[in-house]
Amino acid sequence: MNEAQPEEVISKIEIAATAAGKLLVCGSGVALIAFIFRRELYSKHYHSNAKCLLLLHYATVALSASGMFISTSVQAYTSLTTSDRAIVFWVFAKTWFYAYVYGNCVSMSAMFSLGIERAWSTFNAHNYENTKRKHGIFLFIISILAGAICIGLLLFCSRAVYFDIAAKIMYSFAVIEVLSIAIFTLLYVYNVKWRRSQIRVFATLSHKYQVDENVTAISRLLPVAVVQTICNLFNCIVTPILVFQTRKTRSADYINIMPLYYVLLPLLTLWIDRKMQQSRVKGKRERENEVVR
């Protein structure tokens, strides 16, 4: 019986440890996102247009986490064991890897679409309450198609240009994410300034309500967009450098921090909602104390 070489043993330990960490984070993320999705489904934080896009973001992040969970499981199994069905497992893992990529692309597209939707609600705040769902549905479809186009490019390109196309897709979405943050930031500043201005006195109740909704919604969305962008930008910058230096694509698996977003998304959402609830309770008590005085 051939004994395993020390390098081979170390490699298998690294594979097992990396896979275990990813599986723990991805599995926890899917469970937490499912809880947040169900909670958001019945909430009234957003207009229906924004709500469908936010739910799309949650659903595709969960899909991305599931894709990474399954592909990592299969890849770890085939790397740590010998099987006659290696090619079958490889195809299965590759399929779920593309599910991970697709979910990631659509989730970023959905966040950018939310920025566009909030811009529309800001500049049509006087009448946005009566806006139909067609704008949200249109952006919903565009977000899904964006992910489908990316997967199509990866599936049908030649092997020689695969990594070049993958890099261009990754950097394109990094730009889109930065734009999303810029849009949310500008909209937040605009809405807060409007709410503090004298124009508010002459605005309709519907207009005031929409501006308040915009401030609340963007306050919840902006931190989430920032965290997702940080995770993706880290991968965009560090992954090519590490792979180029080591000449090993497996190096990218060790420093891929995108799984952290699967857990941070629901936890950050819960934390923001808790802070907002505390702020509302504090404001209500202060108003009650002023009345008593």
What is the pTM for the complete model shown? 0.88
Averages of pLDDT over each 10 residues, the chain, 293 residues: 54 73 93 94 85 96 94 78 65 87 96 96 88 89 96 89 86 94 97 90 89 93 96 82 57 74 95 88 70 59
> pLDDT at position 1, please?
44
- Whole-number Å distance between alpha carbons of 117 and 52: 11
Of 70, 151, 74, nearest in space to 106 by CA: 151
Calculate helix-pair angle for 205-246, 86-123, nearest 10 degrees: 150
Q: Where are the domains of the chain?
A: 6-276
> According to CATH, what is the number of the domain 6-276?
1.20.1070.10
Of 180, 111, 185, nearest in space to 142 by CA: 111
First to last CA, the chain: 88
Contact 159, 179 (CB under 8 A): no
> pLDDT at position 35, please?
95
